[in-house]
């Protein structure tokens, strides 16, 4: 049995490392943007409008699919009116799988599914009193599943704009928002 394990391990290692990237030849030279498999981007809308840091790493699997991980951190004071109306979450970690339509290499129109782990503060219930009422805030941590659509536009130099929207539902906590939304305007670079 020990004699079989080493050759099997070597065979599987060879298969894993022997995979080559697909290249698209244009005018006799490989097109670099069509062989790149990694992307880094920042959520420009969230950064400029709300002071939230929204970073994404995306790995291209093949011509029509990719997976990504997004980290969202609310950087500004949550008591500000602009921020309080826009976000209930202080932090989220989101995994996505995207499927692209068309013949272009991981760009153009896509649909995606996502899973989001988020935490923050949510206005759970209204409490009335003799001097008026107020909302009682509850801290929460929850996991949501959802889907969305979008479009990715890539320049010949590797810079891109990714526009997307998604909707999902929190599954675990009663103290969290029932519905979560995602609106992405990401600017990044493919390498």
Q: How far apart are CA 30 and CA 35, in angstroms?
A: 8
Minimum mean pLDDT among 30-39, 112-121, 164-173: which range? Answer: 30-39
Sequence-ordered list of residues with C-beta below 8 angstroms from that of 188, at least 6 positions apart, any chain: 39, 40, 41, 42, 56, 58, 159, 160, 162
Question: What digits encode the pLDDT tens for the residues 78-105?
Answer: 555 555 445 688 999 999 999 999 999 9
How sure is the predictor about 163, in pLDDT bands with cuts at 50, 70 and 90? Answer: very high
CB neighbours of residue 155 within 10 Å? 11
Report which of residues 138 and 29 the model is more confident about. 138
Chain position carrying tokens 């980290």: 71
How sure is the predictor about 138, in pLDDT bands with cuts at 50, 70 and 90? Answer: confident
Q: Taking the domains of the chain in order of start, what are their residue ranges?
A: 22-190
Chain position carrying tokens 């062989």: 35
How sure is the predictor about 59, in pLDDT bands with cuts at 50, 70 and 90? Answer: very high
Query: Could you tell me which CATH number the domain at 22-190 has?
Result: 2.40.160.20
Question: What digits encode the pLDDT tens for the residues 14-47?
Answer: 443 333 333 444 444 445 546 789 999 999 999 9
pTM of the model: 0.74
């Amino acid at each position: 049995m020990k004699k079989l394990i080493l050759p099997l391990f070597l065979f599987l290692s060879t298969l894993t490392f022997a995979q080559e990237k697909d290249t698209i030849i244009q005018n006799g030279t490989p097109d670099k943007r069509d062989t790149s498999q990694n992307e880094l981007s920042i959520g420009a809308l969230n950064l400029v409008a709300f002071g939230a840091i929204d970073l994404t790493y995306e790995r291209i699997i093949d011509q029509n699919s990719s997976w990504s991980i997004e980290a969202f951190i609310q950087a500004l004071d949550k008591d500000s009116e602009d921020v309080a109306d826009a976000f209930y979450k202080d932090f989220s970690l989101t995994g996505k799988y995207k499927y692209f339509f068309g013949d272009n290499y991981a760009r153009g129109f896509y649909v995606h599914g996502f899973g989001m782990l988020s935490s923050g503060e949510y206005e759970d219930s209204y409490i009335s009193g003799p001097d008026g009422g107020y909302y009682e805030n509850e801290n929460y941590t929850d996991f949501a599943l959802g889907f969305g659509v979008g479009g990715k536009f890539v320049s010949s130099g590797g810079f891109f704009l990714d526009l997307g929207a998604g909707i999902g539902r929190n599954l675990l906590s009663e103290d969290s928002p029932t519905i979560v939304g995602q609106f992405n305007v990401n600017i990044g670079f493919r390498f």
